[in-house]
């Protein structure tokens, strides 16, 4: 599908809902979003050196694939086939990848929204994360462990906080980095046990970063001496 769809795509600053290292995401009609590869990406090296590279080149060097959007769609399809139907709500749907003359490949996905119609924000941008969110987060961790899903792109930018009418839970919106091939120097990552351990570490890191510890009200020694 090309051409005709280009006309319908309105990817402007006004419709932008977020951006990551590689892509920009835009709200489009019917509760959907469109993701396109950035034309240039700035790569930072130690000692402050920054180099601007064409997005396609950088994506190929880091992901070893021709097209990130198509890879992501394949990963998503594989993943949802492997998990129970009732757990699919934690995984944002990817519908299709289209070829656009203007934007290159465009990935069309479900736009995650809240009960008030606003677009759900990722963990890096959401200010209020209700405790209930972490129950869903644990569920996602369990799913990754149970089905040995080697997702190595887990981070705050890839989980959004969906605030439904009944509940608040995480939804994963990025499936680019699935598979052991990202660690050629760690061949043991092909074994489910080691892959699962790495995934578990990323989930723990996210929890430590975004889940505030409950404030403990330990009385000071001076208070006790008076009491
Ligand atoms: N389906 C969606 N619903 C709501 N917001 C989304 C959705 N997809 C993406 N976003 C927003 O856009 C941002 C960038 O999207 P995405 O993570 O797909 O980009 P990326 O460049 O591939 O990421 P990375 O930096 O992890 O490589 C997300 O962090 C999120 O804020
Ligand atoms: Mg991302």
Nearest to 197 by CA among 180, 209, 174, 173: 180
> What confidence score (pLDDT) does residue 43 get?
83
Say yes or no: CB of residue 92 within 6 Å of ligand 1: yes
> What confidence score (pLDDT) does residue 219 get?
64
Say yes or no: CB of residue 67 within 6 Å of ligand 1: no
Confidence of residue 227 (pLDDT cuts 50, 70, 90): very low
Please say if the pLDDT value at position 71 is more than 90: yes
Query: 10 Å Cβ neighbour count for 116?
Result: 7
Mean per-residue pLDDT, 23-41: 95
Say yes or no: CB of residue 76 within 6 Å of ligand 1: no
* Region of poorest pLDDT, from 32-36, 62-66, 131-135, 173-177: 62-66
Q: Helix 133-146 crosses helix 192-210 at what angle (to 10 degrees)?
A: 170
Say yes or no: CB of residue 20 within 6 Å of ligand 1: yes
Of residues 45 and 160, more confidently modeled: 160
Pocket test for ligand 1, best of 161, 172, 174, 206 (most atoms within 8 A of CB): 174
- Ligand 1: which atom is nearest the Cα of residue 25? 12
Atom 30 (ligand 1) nearest CA: 18
SS3 state of residue 193: helix
Read off the tokens for 86.
């009732």
Expressed in percent and rounded to 5, the helix, strand and coil fractions of the chain are: 40, 25, 35
- Ligand 2 centroid vs 1 CA: distance in angstroms? 25
Say yes or no: CB of residue 35 within 6 Å of ligand 1: yes
Say yes or no: CB of residue 202 within 6 Å of ligand 1: no
List C-alpha distances in Å: 173 to 12, 159, 183, 191: 21, 6, 22, 25
Name residues whose C-beta falls within 8 Å of residue 142's C-beta, 6 or more positions apart in sequence. none
Contact 15, 27 (CB under 8 A): yes
Say yes or no: CB of residue 160 within 6 Å of ligand 1: yes
Q: What is the pLDDT of residues 138-154, one digit of tens each?
A: 999 999 999 989 999 99
Task: Please tell me the number of the ligand nearest to residue 19's CA.
Answer: 1
Of residues 47 and 68, more confidently modeled: 68
- Ligand 1: which atom is nearest the Cα of residue 23? 21
Say yes or no: CB of residue 157 within 6 Å of ligand 1: yes
Mean pLDDT of the chain: 91
> What confidence score (pLDDT) does residue 224 get?
56
Atom 9 (ligand 1) nearest CA: 25
Residue % of the chain over a pLDDT of 70 = 90
Spacing of C-alpha 19 from chain mean position: 11
Please say if the pLDDT value at position 25 is more than 60: yes
Confidence of residue 218 (pLDDT cuts 50, 70, 90): low
Q: What is the pLDDT of residues 79-133, one digit of tens each?
A: 999 899 999 999 999 999 999 999 999 999 999 999 999 999 999 999 999 999 9
Spacing of C-alpha 224 from chain mean position: 48
Read off the tokens for 60.
């190929």
What is the longest distance spanned by two Cα atoms in the chain?
A: 79
Read off the tokens for 58.
């950088």
Q: Name the DSSP class of 83.
A: S
Name residues whose C-beta falls within 8 Å of residue 117's C-beta, 6 or more positions apart in sequence. none
Please say if the pLDDT value at position 213 is more than 80: no
């Amino acid at each position: 599908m090309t051409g005709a769809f280009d006309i319908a795509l309105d990817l402007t600053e006004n419709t932008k809902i977020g951006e990551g290292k590689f892509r920009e995401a835009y709200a489009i009609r019917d509760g959907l979003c469109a993701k396109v590869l950035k034309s240039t990406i700035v790569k930072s090296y130690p000692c402050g050196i920054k180099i601007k590279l064409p997005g396609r080149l950088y994506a190929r060097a880091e992901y070893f694939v021709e097209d990130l959007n198509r890879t992501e769609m394949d990963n998503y399809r594989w993943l949802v086939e492997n998990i129970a139907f009732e757990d699919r709500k934690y995984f944002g749907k990817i519908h299709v990848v289209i070829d656009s003359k203007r934007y290159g490949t465009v990935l069309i996905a479900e736009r995650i929204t809240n009960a008030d119609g606003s677009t759900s924000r990722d963990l890096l941008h959401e200010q209020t994360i209700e405790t209930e969110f972490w129950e869903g987060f644990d569920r996602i961790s369990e799913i990754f462990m149970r089905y040995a899903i080697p997702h190595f792109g887990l981070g705050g930018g890839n989980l959004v906080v969906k605030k439904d009418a009944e509940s608040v839970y995480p939804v994963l919106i990025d499936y680019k980095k699935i598979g052991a091939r990202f660690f050629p120097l760690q061949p043991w990552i092909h074994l489910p046990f080691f892959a699962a351990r790495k995934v578990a570490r990323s989930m723990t890191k996210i929890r430590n970063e975004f889940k505030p510890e409950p404030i403990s009200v330990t009385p000071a020694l001076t208070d006790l001496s008076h009491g």
